[in-house]
Amino acid sequence: MESHTTRPFVRDIGFIGLGAMGAHMARHIAGAGFNLHVHDTNRETLERFAALGASVCSTPKAVGDAADAVLVCLPTPDIVERVALGENGIAHGARAKIYVDHSTTGPSVARKVAEALAERQITALDGPLAGGMRGAEAGTLSVMISGEEKAFSALRDVFDCYGRNVVHVGDRVGQGQALKLINNMIVGANLVVAAEAILFGIKYGLAAETIIEMLNASTARSFVTEDLLEKRILDRQFDFGFRLELMCKDLRLCVSEAEAAGAPMMVSALAKQFYELAHAHGNATQDMTVVVRELEKAFGVSIERRV
């Protein structure tokens, strides 16, 4: 692996969006000795970062004035566009030359923002994440970066602060976004299919823990069966750490972007509907794993230990 002695090195880093993921990521950056400049709508969070030595900025533009590179980790595409391109957005900062979007916005928004920033001589990268809150807290996220390789190299030491699997996946902005949507769709669809199959087994008289134990020793094992089902849902813990409303957003983006690319995702579109149903039943702010409860209602049994 290259060291920063053999590639461009950036010292002043901006970070916008200090939520469930971003706060941990920014903390790792500060702990690595970078000069950190932060902005968020939560005043208490900003006060905590000020206590860590970070410089608190009043607007995204102010972050762009203070930092050479600005990273964002925000909940929705519209917020990303406003923070990047709005009246007081990063685009109007006097110093920032690299912008990295760690949100999940989809390829179309990533390209739109990148094109607008290019007019301001700011290079954009998209770098969506996998690993959830636990990965962010531990600094072990998977980081899928796409865009100009020179900009990626300049920030590699920053990405390594919170990422264990940091990969430059492509030169085209939006390719990282596509990969993240693929990841989330596979997890989402897998959870629906696995839960349905296990509920069938329970209806047939098998113990849920027996089914899951055998699946995890067989060819059907996956992250869904080994983590979500065995370690959480089996004990009635719906706490993966990713809100249902965000999962719905990602699945909608995946299906719409795939259709625009001429890739009809027919099975995926059906799986998405189960999450839409859970959302319509008032679970928007609950964990995405509550989709299993919708299936349990239909089957009349639950995935839980017998004892």
Element (H, E) at 284: none
Task: Tell me if residue 180 is catalytic.
Answer: yes
The 3-state secondary structure of 147-186, one letter per residue: ECHHHHHHCHHHHHHHEEEEEEEECCCCHHHHHHHHHHHH
- Give the C-alpha separation, 205 to 196, whole Å: 15
Task: For residue 185, give the amino acid letter.
Answer: M
Element (H, E) at 11: none
CA within 13 Å, CB half, 239: 7
Is 187 within 8 Å of 195 (Cβ atoms)?
Answer: no
> What would you report as the CA-atom Rg of the chain, rounded to the nearest whole angstrom?
21
The structure tokens listed for 302 are 């639950």
Is 163 within 8 Å of 141 (Cβ atoms)?
Answer: yes
Is 120 within 8 Å of 94 (Cβ atoms)?
Answer: no
Closest by CA position to 94, among listed 54, 127, 66 = 66
Residue in the block written with tokens 């999962």? 247
Q: Which of 61, 97, 180, 249 is catalytic?
A: 180
| 3-state secondary structure at position 41 | coil
| Active site members | 180
